[in-house]
C-alpha cells in the first residue's frame, strides 16, 4: 500500500511538471503573438554582408494565423519589390508542439531549420536553439535566433546563420513598430 502511494505521488508530480511546461510554452507563445504588426529598423551583420549589410533597413511583418495556432514572420529589405524570385524574403512560422514553442524557418537558402525556444528568467527574451534541418545545405542554414521584447513598440532580433565551412554570420535587427 505504501509503495502504491509513492508511485501515485511520483505520477502526480510528473503530471504537474508537464502541465507547468505546457503553460510556460503557451505563455511564451502568447507573448510572441503580441509582436503581430509591421516593424522596421536597421540590421547589422557580422561579418558584413553584401545584401542587408550594416545600416541597411529591414522590414518585418508578423501576423497571427490559423485561428491563433501559428505566428507568421516575414522579412525583407525595406523598399524592395515583393518578388520572391529576385529578392530575399524568408518566412518563419512559430507554433506550439505539445509542451514546446518551435519555429520553422523557410530559408532563401532552400532549407527549413527547426528550433526550440528557451525563455529568459525575466520573460523578455526567447532564445531558439537548433533542432534539425531539412532541405539543401549547400549554402548553409539558420542555426540560432533570439527575440528580445524591449517594450510594446520595440524589439530586437538576432539571427545566426551557419555558412559553408562552419563559419558563422550574425545579424542583429533593432526594430520599431511602424
- Report pLDDT digits (tens) over 124-150: 999 999 999 999 999 999 999 999 999
Average pLDDT over the chain reads 87
Rounded CA separation 38/27 (Å): 22
Model confidence at 59, in pLDDT bands (50, 70, 90)? very high
Architecture (CATH level 2) of domain 2-177: Beta Barrel (2.40)
Q: What is the pLDDT of residue 46?
A: 92
Q: Which of 43, 67, 69, 38 is nearest to 54 (CA)?
A: 43
The per-residue pLDDT for range 86-123, each reduced to its tens digit, is 677 899 999 999 999 999 999 999 999 999 999 988 88
Buried b (16+ CB within 10 A) or exposed e, 23-45: ebbeebbebbeebeeebebebbb
Amino acid at each position: 500500500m505504501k509503495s502504491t502511494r509513492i508511485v501515485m505521488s511520483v505520477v502526480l508530480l510528473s503530471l504537474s511538471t508537464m502541465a507547468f511546461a505546457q503553460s510556460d510554452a503557451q505563455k511564451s507563445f502568447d507573448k510572441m503573438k503580441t509582436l503581430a504588426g509591421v516593424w522596421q529598423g536597421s540590421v547589422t551583420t557580422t561579418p558584413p554582408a553584401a545584401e542587408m549589410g550594416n545600416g541597411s533597413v529591414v522590414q518585418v511583418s508578423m501576423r497571427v494565423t490559423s485561428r491563433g495556432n501559428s505566428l507568421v514572420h516575414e522579412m525583407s529589405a525595406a523598399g524592395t519589390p515583393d518578388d520572391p524570385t529576385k529578392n530575399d524574403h524568408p518566412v518563419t512560422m512559430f507554433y506550439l508542439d505539445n509542451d514546446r514553442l518551435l519555429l520553422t524557418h523557410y530559408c532563401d537558402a532552400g532549407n527549413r531549420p527547426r528550433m526550440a525556444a528557451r525563455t529568459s528568467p525575466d520573460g523578455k527574451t526567447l532564445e531558439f536553439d537548433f533542432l534539425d534541418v531539412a532541405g539543401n545545405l549547400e549554402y548553409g542554414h539558420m542555426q540560432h535566433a533570439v527575440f528580445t521584447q524591449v517594450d510594446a513598440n520595440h524589439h530586437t532580433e538576432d539571427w545566426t546563420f551557419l555558412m559553408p565551412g562552419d563559419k558563422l554570420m550574425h545579424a542583429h535587427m533593432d526594430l520599431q513598430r511602424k
